Amino acid sequence: MAHVIVPPGWRLPERMAAPKELYLNRRDFLRRMSIGGASLGLAACSDRVATIAPSGGGPGHEMGGPGGTGCDANPPSDPLATICAPPNPDLYPASPNPNFVDPPGTLPYEGLTDRRLVASHNNFYEFIGNASSVHSVWGFTGPFRIWPWTVEIAGEAEVTGRFDLEELEREFGLEERVYRLRCVEAWSIVVPWTGYPLRKLMEKFRPLSSARYVRFTSFLRPDQAVGQRTQPWYPWPYYEALRMDEALNELAFVATGVYGGALPKQNGAPWRLALPWKYGFKSAKSIQRIEFVRERPSTLWADVWPEAYGFYSNVNPWVPHPEWSQEFEEVLGGPPRARTELFNGYGEYVADLYDPELLTYAS
């Protein structure tokens, strides 16, 4: 059974463990650890997901969460005020998929992660405004406009071109899945995602047999995303990729919402990936381009720090990050220390995708 992710490295001694505040401020952490140049910054997790209440109807910009100032207010009045009304409000809330109501594995606590606990903790680097803003990313999302939103489909596929997200959402319909999310930074949450299987999207565009990988690219709007202006050492826009069989796996999910309503901006609105067996940074957010390719494409974090972040990045407690162990995780809102499971507990769905040589390194 293969479970690997990243290249193995030395473990961080307990005496050198970073204080919580420093651990959460990764740029400062890496400076103090004397990692310079292009290696500034650790992997952006998928996110510390902000949970939501159902949004109101209307065309996208009028309604937000608590605060009543609209989702495009700058600055937002509240972490949940960044929720723009979805273009298909009648699809929310979606019916739960009975196969994904309870995450697999042994949970160290009961229930979903508290919505407000995680609403103000987010690693969306495009909206990190300064070195101390990792806990207030939502406050920098006001200028970001999410509707209308289109995606460009390119590469080795029969159907290419530009498509409207609103139409795709209505074509595929929506369902709810409860997934665990394990961040590479050793914390975890449990979230009810709204969306549809990534397989539906892939099959619509009919990739050719020559397409072995699919590449996802996020937006590039430095005028709306302060982090793209103030962090020029990252090769924007964000880019990630999957092997085709990974993208077609039953677990791979396109998320358009959480907790019964649309996604907040800081959580990847208007759509993103949710890949529960991989570390969170593999789940690209706010995607604007999907390309089917023959050769394995590069990914942002593997380019920034290849010794720490491999292409596969599956959750594996036995392969440490160069700066810390991955054997345990902090459960947000739960116990301070819980044991991490292989593939984040989803091995029955994905273990057969990976050859044994991926057990101790990422190729």
Are 330 and 340 contacting, i.e. CB atoms less than 8 angstroms apart?
no
Location of structure tokens 């479970």: 3
- Please tell me the predicted confidence (pLDDT) of residue 54: 29
What is residue 151's DSSP assignment? E
What 3-state class would DSSP assign to 168? Answer: helix
- Please tell me the predicted confidence (pLDDT) of residue 133: 58
Are 345 and 31 contacting, i.e. CB atoms less than 8 angstroms apart?
no
Which tokens go with 138? 């939502």
Rounded to whole angstroms, how far apart are CA atoms 107 and 211?
37
- Please tell me the predicted confidence (pLDDT) of residue 111: 84
What 3-state class would DSSP assign to 26? Answer: helix
Q: How many angstroms separate the Cα of 122 from the Cα of each of 64, 128, 160, 244, 268?
A: 18, 9, 33, 28, 10
pLDDT along the chain (363 residues), means of 10: 34 31 37 32 40 33 49 91 95 97 79 79 84 72 96 98 98 96 92 96 98 98 96 96 98 96 93 97 98 98 94 94 95 87 94 76 43
What 3-state class would DSSP assign to 83? Answer: strand
Are 246 and 321 contacting, i.e. CB atoms less than 8 angstroms apart?
no
Are 273 and 202 contacting, i.e. CB atoms less than 8 angstroms apart?
no
Rounded to whole angstroms, how far apart are CA atoms 314 and 3?
6
Count of CB atoms situated within 10 Å of the CB of 206: 12
Location of structure tokens 């310079």: 36
Count of CB atoms situated within 10 Å of the CB of 103: 19
- Please tell me the predicted confidence (pLDDT) of residue 105: 77
- Answer positive or negative: Cα dihedral of 19, 23, 24, 25: positive
Domain extents in the chain: 14-359
- Neighbour-count burial for 325-356, b at 16+ CB within 10 Å, e otherwise: bbeebbbbbbeeebebbbbbbbbebbeebbee
**Cα R_g (the chain), whole angstroms:** 19
**Overall fold of domain 14-359:** Sulfite Oxidase; Chain A, domain 2 (3.90.420)
Closest to 266 (Cα-Cα) out of 134, 103, 174: 134
What 3-state class would DSSP assign to 165? Answer: helix
> Which residues, other chains included, contact 96 with Cβ-Cβ below 8 Å and sequence gap of 6+?
175, 176, 177, 178, 192
Are 300 and 234 contacting, i.e. CB atoms less than 8 angstroms apart?
yes
- Please tell me the predicted confidence (pLDDT) of residue 243: 98
What is residue 47's DSSP assignment? -
Say which amino acid occupies 278. K
Q: Pairing state of beta strands 187-197 and 272-274?
A: unpaired
What is residue 320's DSSP assignment? -
| DSSP per-residue string spanning 291-312 | EEESSPPP-HHHHH-TTT--SS
The enclosing H or E element of 178 equals strand 175-182
Per this entry, what is the length of the chain? 363
Instruction: For the chain, give percent helix, strand, coil, nearest 5.
Output: 25, 20, 55
- Please tell me the predicted confidence (pLDDT) of residue 150: 98
Count of CB atoms situated within 10 Å of the CB of 28: 17
The enclosing H or E element of 187 equals strand 187-197
